[in-house]
Chains A and B, each alone.
Chain A
Amino acid sequence: MPYKGLYFFNAEWAAGLTEAQFCEHEAHHGLTKAELKEAYKLCKAAAKPAVPPLPETAP
């Protein structure tokens, strides 16, 4: 998941974390808290399937 053209986050990995965990883990990039939150939101959206899975049919 690209962010600002310089940062490329693993969206699948980020989707399994809370926002706080993601921000703490990626704090070393020099992004502001707001930017990290924005990146996290983008990762969550990118990792979400575009179409919800079909419900299982009863046997």
Chain B
Amino acid sequence: MSTNLCALIGGNTGRIDCDGKRRTPAILIVGSKEFTSSDYADEATLYAAIQTAINQSNGTSGKLFPFPEIGEVADATVAATSGNLALGPSRQLTKERPGYTYSVEIGHSLFQKLLVFHNKEVPVITLDSANQMWFYKNSTNGNIRGEIALITVSGNGFENGTDATTGVCTIGVSYKSVDDFQKKSAFWPFSATVAPGDFQGLKDVTLTEVQAHAANVYKIGLRIPTAQVGATLNPWDEIGAAVAALTFTAGTGASYGTPLTITSVAADNTLDCLTVTFDSTAHTALPALTEIKLIPPTVAVMAAAGLVGYELGSIIVSK
């Protein structure tokens, strides 16, 4: 019969050869997607599941947002605190709080996009320099997702001309639970064929009326806004014809819930835009100035057609 609990205070400490450990972060992927054991049955399946989650329309539950590749890492972990009685050993009073500051070199347009994540608590998946992707693992159901952290986005100001670290965008990541970070973390070791550049965010493409419509025929262009004054990009050459081949829908009325039939979508390579034709009878019946919402194909539909890297926004046109 034992008179102490010493045998119950620990666990086995056998070393696992070739075990992974957190290396230098290379890229963050932010979002609520949770992967089941079926999703991580093998590398190809997990990779495809991640790409599917990236290629979803904004607002879709489980969409993932890849951040730009990291240029520099600073450890911003808040140190643990300790204390001791005068004659006693040092005891840890509070655990450290893991946190990191990442510097990324990006243009102003992307910086403005990242600002929506500022001061948001989000799940963060991290791919490190050893191609290990780090997750939180639910020990009950085995699902994996990002590790919850508070994100801050700042910087991208003027450079000082002497220090390369100035003028960069600074992304702060402070993990919410040190216990989750330490005890619930798990990693997937991707093979060398996978690289940070494989995980790219989407560009927002807005639809715009390029000229006044002629009765039920509307000319709709594609534009990518930028932070440069007067400069919007036109991705027509890259994606125009392929977009025209996909299904658009339209609606009017309350919440644009009344369908308006689109009879054809054509690629106009003179104006570099879509020619969208509505059913003339239905269009004529609409009161003047009726608002018509033109809804483009979703990101998932576009990705299924091989059109990746873009999300089209809807447009309200006026009869």
Chain A interfacial positions (CB closer than 8 Å to B): 2, 5-10, 13-14, 25-26, 28-29
- Do residues A14 and B275 form an inter-chain contact, with CB atoms below 8 A? no
Q: Contact check: which of B214, B245, B279 meets A28 at CB < 8 Å?
A: B214
Shortest beta-carbon distance from B45 to chain A in Å: 32
A28-B244 Cα distance, complex, nearest whole Å: 16
Which residues on B sit within 8 Å (CB–CB) of A13?
Answer: 261, 263, 279
A2-B265 Cα distance, complex, nearest whole Å: 10
A9-B279 Cα distance, complex, nearest whole Å: 12
A6-B269 Cα distance, complex, nearest whole Å: 9
- Which residue of A has the minimal Cβ distance to B275? A29
Which residues on B sit within 8 Å (CB–CB) of A29?
Answer: 264, 266, 275
A8-B113 Cα distance, complex, nearest whole Å: 34
- Do residues B263 and A8 form an inter-chain contact, with CB atoms below 8 A? no
- Do residues A25 and B269 form an inter-chain contact, with CB atoms below 8 A? no
A33-B267 Cα distance, complex, nearest whole Å: 19
**A contact face: mostly helix, strand, loop, or mixed:** mixed
- Which residue of B has the minimal Cβ distance to A1? B264
Shortest beta-carbon distance from A9 to chain B in Å: 5
Which residues on A sit within 8 Å (CB–CB) of B244?
Answer: 6, 8
Which residues on A sit within 8 Å (CB–CB) of B263?
Answer: 9-10, 13-14, 25-26
- Do residues B261 and A6 form an inter-chain contact, with CB atoms below 8 A? no
- Do residues A2 and B245 form an inter-chain contact, with CB atoms below 8 A? yes
- Do residues A10 and B267 form an inter-chain contact, with CB atoms below 8 A? no
- Do residues A6 and B267 form an inter-chain contact, with CB atoms below 8 A? yes
B168 interfacial contact with A, CB 8 Å: no
- Which residue of A has the minimal Cβ distance to B281? A25
A-B pairs, top 4 by smallest CB distance, nearest first, are: A6-B267, A7-B266, A9-B264, A8-B265
A29-B8 Cα distance, complex, nearest whole Å: 81
Most B C-beta atoms less than 10 A away, residue of A2, A6, A25: A6
- Do residues B241 and A7 form an inter-chain contact, with CB atoms below 8 A? no
- Do residues A8 and B261 form an inter-chain contact, with CB atoms below 8 A? no
- Do residues B264 and A8 form an inter-chain contact, with CB atoms below 8 A? yes
A2-B275 Cα distance, complex, nearest whole Å: 14
Contact with A along B260-289 (1 / 0, CB 8 A): 011111110100000101011000000000
- Which residue of A has the minimal Cβ distance to B262? A10
A27-B245 Cα distance, complex, nearest whole Å: 19
- Do residues B269 and A7 form an inter-chain contact, with CB atoms below 8 A? no
Shortest beta-carbon distance from B215 to chain A in Å: 9
Q: A6-B266, A8-B244, A13-B261 are in contact. Are A25 and B214 (CB under 8 A)?
A: no
B217 interfacial contact with A, CB 8 Å: yes
Contact with A along B230-254 (1 / 0, CB 8 A): 0000000000010011000000000
- Which residue of B has the minimal Cβ distance to A26? B264
A10-B279 Cα distance, complex, nearest whole Å: 10
A26-B263 Cα distance, complex, nearest whole Å: 8
A25-B275 Cα distance, complex, nearest whole Å: 13
Shortest beta-carbon distance from B34 to chain A in Å: 37
